[in-house]
Amino acid sequence: MTATAHAQLATCLIACAIALLAVAAIAAPATIAASAHAARTLNLSESAQLHRTSSSGVHLNEQGTASGTIRGSIYIHLRVSANRVSAEVSIYPHGGSLTATGSASYHVVGGSAPFSGTVTIIRGSGTYAHAHSGTLRFSGSIRRSDDAVSVRLSGPLNY
């Protein structure tokens, strides 16, 4: 490649880089403004007593009312294995909803099976549309006679 060709290629690359930077500089403020919202943090401390609404094999569906930091209907879908339970937890407080997934280990002690693990917020709606969390603590117990569940959920929620 000749010196002239090198110079033309370098000029072209510099012009392309400047054009990309200009586009990014113009688009960035619009993107930032469109996604800006007031961030709030709420330290969740929820508890609930739930009853079985349905079950099939290793699946339990539970319903109840959450009380604590936010109040509302709570639904839990559990999948129980030999010593672990995976969960999807949905809470419907006034003005929106929150859904979390996670898992916990458990062990049978007499007529109950206490569990302890973690969940993470995966989506929200309404007031909680931008909700996200780190790891939330998830614990409770399943009463073996009727599959009733007591549950506690705690940790920081950003929304």
* Mean pLDDT score, 101-113: 96
Residue 36 DSSP SS3: coil
pLDDT at residue 37, rounded to an integer = 55
Question: Which of these CATH numbers, 3.40.5, 2.10.260, 2.40.350, 3.30.420, describes 41-158?
Answer: 2.40.350
What pLDDT, in 10s, does the model give residues 137-146? 999 999 999 9
* Mean pLDDT score, 78-93: 95
Domain ranges of the chain: 1-36, 41-158
* Mean pLDDT score, 131-159: 94
> 21-35, 48-62, 78-92: lowest mean pLDDT where?
21-35
Q: Rounded mean pLDDT of the chain? A: 83
Distance CA 49, CA 31 (A): 43
Distance CA 123, CA 106 (A): 26
DSSP 8-class letter at 108: -
148 conformational bin, left if phi > 0, alpha if psi -120 to 50, beta if neither: beta
* Mean pLDDT score, 72-76: 97
pLDDT at residue 38, rounded to an integer = 57
**pTM over the 0.75 mark:** no
Residue 83 DSSP SS3: coil
Query: Residue 9 pLDDT more than 50?
Result: no
Number of C-beta neighbours around residue 76 at 10 A: 24
* Mean pLDDT score, 113-133: 95
The tokens for 79 are 């999948």
Q: Which residues are CB-contacts of 55 (< 8 A; sequence separation ≥ 6)? A: 61, 147
